Chains A and B, each alone.
Chain A
Amino acid sequence: MSVFTLPQAAKEELLLSELSALTEHHRAACEPYARILAASGFEKAATVAELPWLPVRLFKNLELKSIPDDEVFKVLTSSGTTGEVSKIYLDKHAAAEQTRRLGATVQTVLGPKRLPMLLVDTKAMLKDRKSFSARGAGVLGMSTFGRDHVWALDNDGVVDLDAIRGFLEKHGSQPFLIFGFTYLVWLHLYEVARDNGLDLSNGILIHSGGWKKLIDQAVSPSEFRERLSGVGLTNVHNYYGMVEQIGTVFLEGPSGGSLYCPDFADVIVRDPLTWQELPPGETGLIEVISTLPTSYPGHVLLTEDMGVVHGIDDGDWPGKRFSVIGRLPRAEARGCSDTYREAA
């Protein structure tokens, strides 16, 4: 089973119809969203790129939901670097659906069986079960895909070499799952494996969390892959996703270097000055598109991340393949959200 099946033209046809319907749904059910659309003059989209986007920051400023208060089942929050918090409202249907779609996406590379799982993190992060950090929520969401979970770091965040060795003795000769944030994997797994001669060759690594800390240490994504293969870890999948489109993850393909969009999602890279869609090869702002946000108008979002589309229908899986390059410097991002704030 894969959710990476649709060539770009077929995907856009499907997304245009589903997202146009979602846009009308949110227009009818979410008053602030209807006001934004009215202010922008939007009526109808002839292409996916014409669908009206919201700046992702807007979820920090406005309460945007398309469900009545008594159907709110879960409120997800994310604190950005600025301390402002996004609030994402899910009803039961949306909550179940996002889990299912994330499951289908990850099973593309893991298969249907839950694999023994090494978490490159500390259990201490889940101590307060009422309020996890975004990191905690990520770890917990992913742990569904594993079994016999072992934490690679102790409660103080120090590498627990005995735990890692014990895990590998028990499970290392069969496929197993490794999950962690990119810089933790680099610091606390790669270096430890290299220095202690650990064999990770049956591991499938899924990692996320941005490259900034690694780029500060002058480690590029391609070097990350190359060095990991030096300790036998060749099944490596980075992913990109955000709480404002919970359940949608863009997953790195087997050959590395590109993220792919599942059938129910897509990306568009836009010129940050003109908002025009940029052709492959040119760097701009990433817009993320997904059919999953049914309970809040987050189906078309302009992120504050810079990225580039590398190609279309020419990689491991069909559709667009792209990379995230980094964050847009904060000052430049203000224009659009201020406009929307006034419009709202």
Chain B
Amino acid sequence: MSTLQKLREAFRTALDLPADAPVDDLQYQDNEKWDSLAHMSLIATLEDEFEVMIDTDDVINMSSFQEAIKILGKYGVDISE
């Protein structure tokens, strides 16, 4: 599985979305499933999946799927097809 697919999966799992739900344009709190509780579960899922430890500021700034790609990049995780 590509890292991009893994990231999509992680979002669907953490936000409790259907297996085929589009996630690439998701924004924090625009989707009703992505609330503050789900956010913590998302962070935990990303940390497990990509074996990183995300700093507080990055947890706060992870406001969209696209932002997650950028932030994971800072930790050396290249998200691509």
Contact = CB atoms under 8 A, between A and B. Distances in A.
Interface of A: 73-74, 95-96, 99-100, 103, 106-107, 110, 112-114, 126, 129, 140-141, 143-145, 147, 149
Given A126-B37, A143-B40, A147-B47, A114 B59 contact: yes
B60 interface: yes
A114 B53 contact: yes
Interface residues of B, number: 17
B54 interface: yes
Interface string B55-66: 111011001000
Query: How would you classify the secondary structure of chain A's contact residues: helix, strand, loop or mixed?
Result: helix
A74 B28 CA distance: 13
Nearest to A107: B56
A209 B47 CA distance: 32
Given A126-B37, A129-B37, A144 B60 contact: yes
A8 B71 CA distance: 37
27 contacts: A73-B29, A96-B63, A99-B60, A103-B56, A103-B57, A103-B60, A110-B56, A112-B56, A112-B57, A113-B53, A113-B55, A113-B56, A114-B53, A114-B55, A114-B56, A129-B35, A129-B37, A140-B37, A140-B40, A141-B36, A143-B40, A144-B36, A144-B39, A144-B60, A145-B56, A147-B44, A147-B53
Contacts of A95: 29
Given A129-B35, A129-B37, A144 B55 contact: no
B59 A144 contact: yes
Contacts of B39: 144
B37 A100 contact: no
Query: How would you classify the secondary structure of chain B's contact residues: helix, strand, loop or mixed?
Result: helix
Contacts of B37: 126, 129, 140
A178 to B, nearest CB: 16
Given A95-B29, A114-B59, A143-B40, 7 more contacts: A73-B29, A96-B63, A100-B60, A107-B57, A112-B56, A140-B36, A140-B40
Nearest to A143: B40
A303 to B, nearest CB: 26
Contacts of B60: 99-100, 103, 144
5 closest A-B pairs by CB: A112-B55, A103-B60, A129-B37, A99-B60, A114-B56
A142 to B, nearest CB: 11
A100 B53 CA distance: 19
Contacts of A107: 56-57
